[in-house]
Amino acid sequence: MPTGPAPERLIDHTNLKADATRADLERLCNEALEHNFIAVCVNPARVELCAKMLAGSSTRVATVAGFPLGASLPEVKAFEAARAIERGAQEIDMVINIGALLDGDEKAVAADIRAVREACGGDVLVKVIIETCYLSDAQKRTACRIALREGADFVKTSTGLGYAASGGAGATADDVKLMRRVVGPEIGVKAAGGIRDAATFWTMVRAGANRIGTSAAVAIMREIRDGAAPR
């Protein structure tokens, strides 16, 4: 079995659904407390609720900016991040300007990330979602290099929504390996998108991910505790 943190401390227990109710988010937080997940990841409007529920625990509150398209203006993403932080967010998962990257406009991509990094200061983690399903390997490498240069704490594979819309793949072991090669040990790699069982969880960890975003966290932990081995 891979060494390092306990599996539950690698998981962002996630509910970013448009129709998530207060009861759904309360359930998410209670499950996070029960299983000791590292974080919950929720939409900005639900940050304050989750921060209150998780106060005093070791589970952090993550939220998103520019989600899911990445097409918001940099100042809008920065404002969204800042307001979420005021309400208790401790981690921001921002989506890059995907179109700008595809255009080859690296300055725009960098400015986008920089605006959110500055809004977050030094205490709030910034995870940069590059949305791999739209990118060539060369573009994935470019996105990771920019994120690293602009002070990101993590690069992240996917929103979990783009791959369904594009017909591409969610998180893949090959993408995680590529991202880890680019960023080295300096920052984290978060795998998200289609991770629904223990085998896939361990595949991503072995590929180099040190954070996993999934809406199937409880089922994965039950598999692991029932003896599901890494494959």
Catalytic status, residue 156 = yes
Residue 95's region, left for phi above 0, alpha for psi from -120 to 50, else beta, is beta
Q: Shortest CA distance to 143 belongs to which of 159, 125, 156?
A: 156
Segment 46-71, tens digit of pLDDT? 999 999 999 999 999 999 999 999 99
pLDDT exceeds cutoff 50 at 1: no
Percent of the chain with pLDDT over 90: 91
pLDDT value, residue 228: 60
Tell me which CATH homologous superfamily contains domain 7-225: Aldolase class I (3.20.20.70)
Q: Shortest CA distance to 33 belongs to which of 56, 16, 62, 57?
A: 57
Q: Which two tokens stand for residue 68?
A: 């899911």
| Active-site hit among 12, 77, 93, 140 | 93
pLDDT value, residue 49: 98
pLDDT value, residue 50: 98
Q: Which two tokens stand for residue 50?
A: 């989750």
Catalytic status, residue 93 = yes
pLDDT exceeds cutoff 80 at 225: yes
Segment 89-113, tens digit of pLDDT? 999 999 999 999 999 999 999 999 9
pLDDT value, residue 164: 67
Helices 137-149 & 106-120 angle (0-180, nearest 10): 40
| Active-site hit among 77, 127, 140, 156 | 156
Catalytic status, residue 174 = no
| Active-site hit among 77, 127, 140, 190 | 190
